[in-house]
């Protein structure tokens, strides 16, 4: 199908340095970027959080960056998260996890040639300490399937000291139902998403319908379990099913939450929050928006055309 081809091409381009520099330098693309990424600085991130809080939405903040190959860059990422958490606390936005942070281990040095996992774990620990001080939590984003086991191992280590660290699982991976069973335990925060990377058929469902069916199977396990499910999707059908399952298991609103990305279905975000359910918005910020934005484009061919046109015609 044409949209599958486009999706594959965009996910391929998300790893291209040449296209990345060209697009990052195009000043015209800023308008389109701004819809999904509210700004580049900690102050921008705090302001976006305050605006969401005004309509009762919760936040999880992501300092953009991935696949770091230099230790100094990984340390800079740690510093930015610590500064962000301190700023959220000063603005009274972080208590009771009203605003938390999402981390990518690859931005914290997971791919460094020597001791990558240990370096990422050490830096993540420092961020967890800052989060604890700010009265909030941390969630470990999940990246491509070659890192799943390593990321779950780091999660396990972090949870020994910080039991509130959240996990992410992706329903497109065939292994995920088993991971949900392992993770659906008391106190365990688990974000369920469909998955955003290009993955081979050996490990991942390729058909959208199969990814959705897997999502429902995983939801059933998480909602029936003792943990705190975080339903990360913009898909109206899956949101409805999540609500029905929560009702079936007599879950109260504070025992689970919905999550969506900044700039996507904002009216629906507000409706869900107005109903009294917890709605958390994932807010990315920083200069390194290229990979993030290309994954969003791969999900919405219509947006891609809009974006491409803005590059050419302005
Ligand atoms: P899709 O199948 O993409 O969309 C389903 C329906 O949602 C569409 O038919 C449409 O009705 C609606 N919709 C979707 N996009 C739009 C739009 N732009 N405008 C209007 N309607 C729209 N992925 C990872 O791999 N690792 C992570 O750690 C991770 N963290 C995430 C955290 C959060 C909070 C969220 C929301 C997503 C995260 N993702 C992550 C991305 C996720 O895996 C999906 O790629 C992404 O959410 C798109 O899937 P979807 O469930 O929204 O369904």
Q: Are 29 and 135 found together in one domain?
A: no
> If we measure between CA atoms, which residue out of 208, 218, 222 comes closest to residue 176?
218
Q: What percent of the chain has pLDDT over 70?
A: 94
Q: Are 72 and 122 found together in one domain?
A: yes
Q: Are 235 and 136 found together in one domain?
A: yes
Which range has highest mean pLDDT (118-132, 277-291, 293-307)?
Answer: 118-132
Separation of alpha carbons 100 and 60, rounded Å: 5
Tell me how many domains the chain contains.
2
Spatial contact of 165 and 228, defined as CB atoms under 8 Å apart: no
Active-site residue among 57, 62, 117, 141? Answer: 141
Which tens digit of pLDDT belongs to each residue from 133-165?
999 999 999 999 999 999 999 999 999 999 999
Is 14 assigned to a binding site? no
Query: Where residue 216 sits, what CATH number does that domain have?
Result: 3.20.20.220
- Whether 213 has a pLDDT exceeding 50, the answer reads yes
State mean pLDDT over 223-247: 98
Residue 257's Cβ-side half-sphere holds a number of Cα atoms within 13 Å equal to 24
Measured in Å, residue 35 CA sits from the centre of ligand 1 at: 15
Separation of alpha carbons 201 and 204, rounded Å: 5
Per-residue pLDDT band at 28 (split at 50, 70, 90): low
Spatial contact of 292 and 37, defined as CB atoms under 8 Å apart: yes
191 is catalytic: yes
Burial of 265 (0-12, 13-18, 19+ CB in 10 A): middle
- Does the structure's ipTM exceed the value 0.85? yes
Determine the pLDDT at residue 46: 98
C-alpha dist (Å) from residue 227 to 121, 137, 244: 23, 15, 17
Determine the pLDDT at residue 26: 64
Q: Are 138 and 211 found together in one domain?
A: yes
Q: Determine if ligand 1 sits within 6 Å of the CB of residue 141.
A: yes
Which residue range is the domain that position 77 belongs to? Answer: 38-288
Separation of alpha carbons 227 and 8, rounded Å: 34
Q: Are 141 and 183 found together in one domain?
A: yes
Average pLDDT over the chain, rounded to an integer: 93
Q: Determine if ligand 1 sits within 6 Å of the CB of residue 282.
A: yes
141 is catalytic: yes
Q: Are 47 and 29 found together in one domain?
A: no
């Amino acid at each position: 199908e044409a949209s599958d081809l486009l999706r594959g091409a965009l996910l391929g381009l998300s790893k291209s340095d040449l296209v990345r520099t060209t697009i990052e330098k195009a000043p015209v693309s800023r308008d389109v970027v701004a819809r999904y990424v509210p700004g580049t600085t900690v102050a921008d991130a705090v302001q976006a959080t305050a605006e969401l809080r005004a309509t009762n939405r919760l936040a999880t903040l992501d300092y953009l960056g991935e696949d770091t190959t230099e230790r100094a860059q990984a340390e800079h990422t740690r510093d930015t998260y610590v500064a962000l958490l301190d700023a959220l606390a000063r603005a009274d936005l972080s208590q009771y996890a009203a605003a938390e942070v999402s981390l990518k281990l690859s931005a914290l040095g997971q791919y460094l040639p020597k001791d990558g996992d240990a370096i990422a774990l050490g830096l993540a620990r420092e961020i967890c300490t800052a989060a604890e001080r700010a009265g909030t939590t941390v969630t470990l984003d999940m990246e491509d399937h070659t890192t799943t086991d390593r990321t779950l191992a780091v999660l396990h280590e972090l949870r020994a000291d910080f039991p509130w660290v959240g996990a992410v699982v992706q329903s497109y991976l065939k292994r995920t139902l088993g991971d949900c069973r392992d993770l659906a335990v008391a106190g365990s925060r688990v974000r369920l998403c469909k998955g955003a990377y290009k993955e081979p058929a050996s490990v991942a469902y390729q058909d959208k319908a199969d990814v959705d069916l897997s999502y429902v199977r995983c939801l059933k396990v998480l909602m029936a379990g003792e943990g705190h499910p975080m339903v990360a999707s913009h898909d109206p059908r899956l949101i409805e099913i999540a609500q029905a399952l929560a009702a079936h298991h007599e879950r109260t609103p504070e025992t689970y939450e919905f999550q969506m990305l900044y700039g996507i279905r904002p009216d629906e975000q507000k409706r869900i929050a107005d109903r009294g359910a917890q709605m958390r918005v994932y807010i990315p910020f920083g200069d390194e928006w290229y990979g993030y934005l290309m994954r969003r484009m791969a999900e919405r061919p219509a947006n891609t055309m809009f974006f491409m046109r803005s590059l050419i015609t302005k």
